[in-house]
Amino acid sequence: MTSLLHRGARFLTAALVLTLLPLGPLLADDKPVRGDLPPVALDPSRMLGDTLDGRQAEALANEVHALLLKRLGSDQISDAELWMGAIQGMIDVVNRRQAVGASRTQAALPPSGMLLSEDDADELGDAFKGELTGVGIEFQLYSRPGVMVVSRILPGSPAELAGLLPGDRIIALDGAGLAGASLQDVLGMLGGDEGTRIAVQFQRGEGLAAASFAVGVQRGTFAVRSVLSELRSGGVGYIRVFGFHQETPREVAESLTELGALGADRYVLDLRNNVGGDLSGAIGVADLFLPIDTVLGRIVEPGVGELDLVATQPPMTEDNLVVLVNAWTHGAAEAVAVALQEHHRAYIIGEPTMGSARTETLVSLGHSLVLRISSVRLQSPTGQSWEGHGVQPDQEFATAGGYDGGALDEAFNVAARYLETEGL
């Protein structure tokens, strides 16, 4: 479908450019212009915004559609291709507009607005169930050009079974180097159906001790645990949440119970590098720390309505809590941090977060097509948005992007010292 969409959009853009050029020079001496014209870089959305209102633009789109069918012929383009290209063009405009003012970390993410098949949409929804199909690698892109550093191997994943380790530097996938590849390119190479294989070329070690390896990894479906927890010295219960799915509240609740039984009387909730995920799962985690009927946040969706998200159960613990965040704390994870911060339930340490206060939803269009659109706006319990500027920590502490082990340990030590000396 992608090739058809881009093909239709390309023809449509060319027609818009030619339609809006002054007619005088084109018709001079009644001789039509024909030949290999030089390329021209124009911004059709800006041009149309300067000269046409919405109704005029709609009329022009219908006129161009008819002109293209007539002048290009059915051997080059079909009616359906043109309309699908027009749909993709609308989505592209939305993506460009929403990217304005995005932080550098936000800009690294692939666009959210897109057309999907129902099967693809089902796979996205399955990610919120706590299962993944793929390789099981989380990575940093790039520590240096063409090198992808493995930051985490998901337990029980094909990557773990193949022997990959955190810190490995991936330099090629299926023989293709990564130099110049975008995040979307890499995700496309790693993705695939269960049972298919991918060749991973990587390096391990530093300097003279560095060695190169190549392994074949068979993609599979595996359960994804989103929480890691342990009791640290001084009675500090450490809970790290990597992302949110439907089972995350249960996993955090189990961790609180286990850590409390081991003697924890204060907690660090680590949301650094948290990729967000299921909003209901994130709200369920905030619910574990705040009183029943507390407003945990608000969602606003134009054309649909507004909804306050409210705690439904008493808190599991009232012990002191620190939340760690960084520039890669994203979306639903930001919603947890700001809810705990505004209710003075937690002290936030780290860096300003990504600043993504919009979240996505899937809208069925019929014809086995689904629109993935970033239309849901998130707000804090007091109705504030953190879009573009992020959740501001109570105490700033740089974590070097969050991937360096030493920086991670030091950030935890800062949190532990705060709990020991200050509390809430």
pLDDT class of 21 with cuts at 50, 70, 90: very low
- Picking from 90-94, 221-225, 327-331, 347-351, which range would have the lowest pLDDT averaged per residue? 90-94
If you average pLDDT over residues 203-222, what whole number do you get? 90
Sole residue written with tokens 């932080």 = 103
**Looking at the predicted structure, is the pLDDT value of residue 8 above 70?**
no
Lowest-confidence segment of 80-89, 97-106, 212-221, 267-276 by average pLDDT: 97-106
Mean pLDDT of the chain: 83
More confident residue, 140 or 310: 310
Section 93-117 average pLDDT: 71
Can you tell me the distance from the alpha carbon of 310 to that of 119, in angstroms, rounded to the nearest whole number? Answer: 33
Locate 225 and state its tokens: 């645990």
- Residue 11 clears pLDDT 60, i.e. is over it: no
Confidence of residue 256 (pLDDT cuts 50, 70, 90): very high
Backbone φ, ψ for residue 74 (5° rounding): -70, -15
pLDDT at 376 over 50: yes
Rounded to an integer, what distance in angstroms lies between the CA atom of residue 208 and that of residue 189? Answer: 30
User: What does the pLDDT average to over 359-381?
Assistant: 89
Q: Domains plus CATH for the chain?
A: 2-100 (no CATH), 131-223 (2.30.42.10), 227-421 (3.90.226.10)
Task: State the pTM of this model.
Answer: 0.71
Provide the pLDDT confidence category of residue 44 given band limits of 50, 70 and 90. low
Answer whether residue 15 shows pLDDT above 50.
no
In the chain, pLDDT over 70 holds for what percent of residues?
82
pLDDT for position 246: 94
Spatial contact of 64 and 19, defined as CB atoms under 8 Å apart? yes
Residue type at position 6: H
Most confident of 93-102, 202-211, 400-409: 202-211
Q: How many CB atoms lie within 10 A of CB 285?
A: 28
Whether the pLDDT of residue 401 is over 50: the answer is: no
How much is the pLDDT for 103? 62
Distance CA 8, CA 327 (A): 38
CA 254 and chain centroid, separation: 27
Rounded-to-integer distance, Cα 169 and Cα 167, Å: 6
CB 311 within 8 Å of CB 293: yes
Per the CB < 8 A criterion, the answer to whether 320 and 292 are in contact is no
Per-residue pLDDT tens over the stretch 106-156: 666 666 668 888 888 887 777 788 888 889 998 876 667 788 889 889 889
Long-range contact list for 118-121, CB < 8 A, 24+ apart? 118/364, 118/368, 118/369, 118/370, 120/370, 121/362, 121/370, 121/372
On whether the CB atoms of residues 322 and 419 are closer than 8 A, the answer is yes
What is the per-residue pLDDT for 389? 93
